């Protein structure tokens, strides 16, 4: 149930598969007989100097994967010189997570509990040093993640304990996980959603998200309350990208929630050129969805992204080996990205553009400045 919670997507998982397949559809056009013994992976996102253009995305319920999972992932991100993004729907206090990381941290806000509870979370995040607020706009309801229902994680998270009984055999063969989960405070709650009666318990997250649906008016007052960099995540069209900028976004994330919300939407890599063309000269454009290798990172940058967010790529590592597993996942992406640049004959991530790509027929046109570079 834990693996499928990480690995699965919504309904038939077509968008989940499309996110990954889109990277495979793009081919490279390398510069041969060009040698760069050292290549530069460093970049800047919202004023943060990062050692590589990879940010750890918000992944809810990470304590199911490893004890104090959010703090462990944040620590690994800080050591790697990049950003960790904490989800509202996490099981570790935001103060503990921020203290665990030596690097920058962002906080992803869901309005579970309503506006006043959200404002309190914003104040807490600012007080303990989160440097940007991420507002996700693609969850008016939770997607139907059928694997979670088939394999029991939905029932476990919702505390429908009688309904978990049929799934006990798969749990009992993992006594180490059961012991760790129990010692880590099972049944868990959401300590960053402070209701009048205390932290919000794990319950029906679908109902909570439906009650916390975010509108553009909400984004505007959240930006005013935060008074700092706002990242709008879940942008999938040029119109929404422009709307996000109009309400105060400093960056947008081209995202379909990793294929976990509306099944059947286009892969984020296919949408990226449209969003870059619309707002890339005004705000920083980031991408998530389907990034599994360093070469995927390079392709997103070549199409105009400033950096990518990864979720599953590090969540697998967290589930396998905790902090060390996350560090290993980041190191794999770093090594592959460095090797890709050297094989392309490209000295820096900032030099990646559409001229290094041979896009297949049917893809959106590259932004004008990148199309000009390709023509050269």
Q: CA-CA distance, 213 to 65, in Å (whole number)?
A: 27
Around Cβ 338, how many Cβ atoms within 10 Å? 19
Residue 286: phi, psi to the nearest 5?
-115, 165
Q: CA-CA distance, 267 to 272, in Å (whole number)?
A: 9
**Active-site residue among 36, 236, 257, 350?**
257
What residue has token string 């309801």? 141
185-218 in b/e form (b: 16+ CB < 10 A) is: eeebbbbbbebeeeebebeebbebbeebebeeeb
Around Cβ 168, how many Cβ atoms within 10 Å? 10
Q: CA-CA distance, 33 to 331, in Å (whole number)?
A: 27
Q: Are 239 and 232 in contact, with CB atoms under 8 Å apart? A: no
Q: Are 92 and 65 in contact, with CB atoms under 8 Å apart? A: no
Give the DSSP H/E element, type plus range, for residue 181: helix 175-183
Q: CA-CA distance, 43 to 61, in Å (whole number)?
A: 29
Catalytic-residue membership of 257: yes
Distant-in-sequence, close-in-space partners of 304: CB < 8 Å, separation ≥ 6: 272, 273, 276, 280, 285, 366, 367, 370
DSSP label of 40: B
175-184 in b/e form (b: 16+ CB < 10 A) is: eeeeeebeeb
Q: Are 55 and 309 in contact, with CB atoms under 8 Å apart? A: yes
DSSP label of 348: B
Catalytic residues, by residue number, are 257
């Amino acid at each position: 149930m834990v693996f499928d919670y990480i690995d699965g997507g919504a309904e038939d998982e077509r968008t989940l598969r499309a996110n990954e397949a889109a990277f495979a559809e793009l081919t490279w056009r390398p510069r041969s007989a060009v040698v760069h013994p050292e290549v530069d992976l460093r970049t800047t996102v919202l004023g943060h100097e990062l050692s590589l253009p990879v940010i750890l995305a918000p992944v809810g319920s990470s304590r199911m994967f490893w004890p104090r999972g959010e703090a462990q992932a944040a620590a690994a991100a800080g050591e790697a010189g990049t950003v960790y993004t904490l989800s509202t729907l996490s099981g570790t206090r935001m103060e503990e997570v921020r203290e665990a990381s030596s690097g920058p941290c962002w906080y992803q806000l869901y309005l579970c509990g309503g506006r006043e509870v959200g404002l309190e979370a914003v104040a807490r995040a600012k007080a303990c040093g989160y440097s940007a607020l991420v507002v996700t706009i693609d969850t008016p309801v939770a997607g139907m993640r059928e694997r979670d229902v088939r394999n029991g994680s939905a029932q476990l998270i919702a505390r429908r304990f009688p309904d978990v009984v049929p799934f006990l055999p798969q749990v009992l063969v993992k006594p180490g996980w059961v012991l760790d989960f129990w010692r880590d405070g099972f049944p868990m709650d959401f300590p960053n959603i402070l209701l009048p009666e205390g932290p919000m318990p794990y319950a029906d997250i679908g109902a909570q998200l439906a009650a916390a649906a975010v509108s553009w008016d909400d984004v505007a007052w959240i930006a005013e309350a935060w008074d700092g960099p706002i990242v709008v995540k879940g942008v999938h069209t040029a119109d929404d990208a422009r709307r996000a900028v109009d309400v105060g976004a400093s960056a947008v994330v081209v995202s379909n929630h990793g294929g976990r919300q509306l099944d059947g939407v286009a892969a984020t890599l296919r949408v990226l050129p449209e969003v870059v063309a619309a707002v890339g000269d005004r705000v920083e454009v980031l991408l998530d969805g389907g990034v599994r290798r360093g070469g995927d990172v390079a392709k997103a940058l070549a199409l105009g992204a400033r950096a990518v967010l990864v979720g599953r790529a590090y969540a697998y590592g967290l589930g396998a080996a905790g902090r060390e597993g996350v560090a290993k996942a980041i190191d794999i992406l770093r090594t592959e990205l460095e090797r890709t640049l050297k094989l392309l004959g490209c000295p820096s991530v900032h030099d990646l553009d559409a001229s290094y790509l041979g896009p297949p027929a049917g893809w959106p046109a590259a932004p004008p400045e990148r199309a000009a570079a390709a023509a050269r």
